[in-house]
Amino acid sequence: MYPLFGLGFALHICSVTTGRSIELVATEERTNRSIDTFTNCSYVIKKFESLENWSRLCNISQTGHIDFDIVCIVEGNSSIKLSEFRNFTNHVSSHIQFDLSVICKDGIIHFPWPFRADKLHRIFIKDCRIKDYRTDFKNSLINSIPDTIKHLQMDNVTIILRIGELYDSLSKANSPITRAAECGPENAFSIILRGTTANIEDMHNYFMFDLETAIEQYNHYFNIQKRTCLYNNLEVYEISGMKDLEKNVVNKIIHTDVAENLKTLNFSGNGIFDTIYKLQGWRLRFPVMEYIDFSNNNIKVIPMIRDYGMTVKKTKSVGLIDIRRNNITSLTKGMIDSFSTHKFVKVDISENPFLCDCGIIEVMEYLSAKTMPTAYDYLRTLKCGNPSKVRGRQMITLLSTELNCNQETVINFPVVVMGIITITLFVITFLTIYFRNMIKVILFTRLNINLPCEFRNATHEEKEYDAFIAYSEKDVDWVIHTALPKLESEDAGRACRLCLHHRDFIVGNTIADNIFNSVENSFHTILLISNDFLKSEWCMMEFRTALRKSLQDEGRHLIIVLKGNITVDNIDPDLKNCLNSQTYLKIGDVLFWDKLKYGISFRHKKSQNN
């Protein structure tokens, strides 16, 4: 209320403004003169001046009837010790309250956690390097100092530790840390630890193994100890900007500690990625919570956050769960559904690096159609984080063309299946067309299937033979022992009626007549062409007769079969023509017999028209 700059001025203010409080204090004082040495403000100031280092680095001023402000600037090589301050506060009236601010400019302070000093009401430490931080962790004498701190705040401090000190301060089975060290100022209204780092001075000359073992033991003991801190006043609890935040600390306040008046819980900027799961039952633990700040962390997935409505006693507030600026990349309908209808808690997921892919458009359409409390209108203004070409754009303004959302890019199961079927059909069709002749042959000979567009067996004309075989006498063995069994037997599928000159020629007729009759009375003439065939005159006569017939019947009559290697040099020009223009069969071909039977069973058009 009356900030004082300098002691002379302070004395003047004291005498003018603090009269009433002195009277008040004095009456109470009479009850215990022996301990209470406080008489008036100038005494406090005088006492403070007697402190060796504090008086040099700090200014004290009276700001209210019983309130004193102490502001210290610790520069360069100078340092102050909390123990010196404790000696001072022990010797002033119990009704006084001190607000202490320590701002460092390279200075070091020796302040053991939790900074207890009688009558210390508020402590604020900024930019300091703190030594002796853990020296009181197991010091039970701390319990003799009243816990008077109502507001504690540390900004940007570095805790300087020695390994030995750290090791000794760890909770072990036979020597637990004190409640004061574990809980800090339990009567406080606010505890704010912002940007704290820890430095170990003498890392090099210690066996890390011992320390790690000790830390393990510590965690173990910490977990089984399950001490509950009772923060009956606490309204603001913040641990932020701490790179190596111990999970224990977060878990304790969320899980075991009692803080029924907590309004703000701030774990912002700690690199947390999983602890938020523990908040699922948050309202049951924190009935008056207004703000849970998990912003600037590394959370990737938001847990199911429940809305307990007004069912919890004392609940008056709408809680805000702030998950802004984390690492949530996907936005789904399910995610939106998980919280967007909550009335008594607002979950804020904006400013996350959302990946805007094709799915996001669908999600936005869903969002547009959804009815939500107005608190969730912000969802419609969410912006993209990736890919870079749409970064910063509002999702709702995205067009599917901008994201290259063609049907092909979306993996759509039915489309893929249809694609596979189409390709398969295409391949089958292609193969069918490519091998259609072979397929026709096989269908016919093996399954007796005729394709509808062929003029096969549709004839009414009857002929004596299916085929007349013209062959050289030298090939008779092959004809009788190989061809006949294959073609004439029923086992082979279809029995053909064949005309062989040595068997079927009519005795008495001229050979020429026999050849003519045989060709005329057969649907086909099979020329078994071998080198011997080419040399035989009768054979060539048979060929000519058959060729003439073939010309009459529009080319379907002749079936040419090649036997052995044919030397085509001195071959009859008409036969040469035939070989060039007509497909012929080769003995030894995989489907030779099938093709031959197929050819034999073919009936030409003219015959059908008869």
Ligand X SMILES: *[C@@H]1O[C@H](CO)[C@@H](O)[C@H](O)[C@H]1NC(C)=O
Q: CB-wise, 147 or 475, nearer to ligand X? A: 147
d(CA 14, CA 45): 10
Select the span of 252-260, 263-271, 502-510, 569-577 touching ligand X (CB under 6 A). Answer: 263-271
Q: Which of 194, 325, 346, 557 binds ligand X (CB under 6 A)?
A: 194
- The least CB distance from residue 378 to ligand X, in Å, is 17
Residue with structure tokens 């071998």? 530
32 binds ligand X (CB under 6 A): yes
Q: CB-wise, 156 or 178, nearer to ligand X? A: 156
235 binds ligand X (CB under 6 A): no
Q: CB-wise, 192 or 529, nearer to ligand X? A: 192
Span 387-446, contacts to ligand X by CB under 6 A? none
Q: Which of 55, 59, 219, 459 binds ligand X (CB under 6 A)?
A: 59
- The least CB distance from residue 436 to ligand X, in Å, is 56
- Stated as kind and residue range, the H or E segment containing 79 is strand 79-81
For residue 470, the one-letter residue type is A
- The least CB distance from residue 145 to ligand X, in Å, is 12
d(CA 516, CA 499): 12
Edge-to-edge strands, sheet with 345-348? 58-62, 67-75, 97-105, 120-126, 151-155, 190-194, 236-240, 264-266, 291-293, 319-322, 345-348
- The least CB distance from residue 11 to ligand X, in Å, is 10
For residue 111, the one-letter residue type is F
Nearest to 85 by CA among 43, 50, 36: 50
Q: Which of 31, 205, 388, 567 binds ligand X (CB under 6 A)?
A: 31
Q: CB-wise, 16 or 224, nearer to ligand X? A: 16
Contacts 24+ apart (CB under 8 A), 398-401: 398/356, 398/360, 398/361, 398/364, 399/361, 400/358, 400/361
For residue 325, the one-letter residue type is R
35 binds ligand X (CB under 6 A): yes
Total interface residues for ligand X by CB under 6 A: 42
290 binds ligand X (CB under 6 A): no
40 binds ligand X (CB under 6 A): yes
d(CA 507, CA 181): 131
DSSP 356-425: --HHHHHHHHHHHH----GGGGGGGG-B--BSGGGTT-BGGG--TTTTT--GGGS--HHHHHHHHHHHHH
- The least CB distance from residue 127 to ligand X, in Å, is 4
608 binds ligand X (CB under 6 A): no
b/e sequence 194-219, b meaning 16+ C-beta within 10 Å: bbbebeeeeeeeeeeeebeebeeebe
- The least CB distance from residue 144 to ligand X, in Å, is 12
Select the span of 250-258, 292-300, 338-346, 530-538 touching ligand X (CB under 6 A). Answer: 292-300
27 binds ligand X (CB under 6 A): no
2 binds ligand X (CB under 6 A): no
For residue 90, the one-letter residue type is N
Span 143-172, contacts to ligand X by CB under 6 A? 156, 158
562 binds ligand X (CB under 6 A): no
CB 587 within 8 A of CB 552: no
Would you state the structure tokens that stand for residue 105, as one six-digit string? Answer: 């400019």
d(CA 123, CA 103): 11
Q: CB-wise, 300 or 576, nearer to ligand X? A: 300
84 binds ligand X (CB under 6 A): yes
Q: CB-wise, 126 or 440, nearer to ligand X? A: 126
Residue nearest to ligand X (CB): 76
- The least CB distance from residue 331 to ligand X, in Å, is 14
Helix pair angle (537-552, 573-581), 10° resolution: 50
**Which residues here bind ligand X, judged by CB under 6 A?**
5-6, 31-32, 34-35, 39-40, 42-43, 52-53, 58-59, 71-73, 76-79, 81, 83-84, 87, 127, 156, 158, 194, 238, 240-241, 264, 266, 268-269, 291, 293, 298, 300, 327, 329
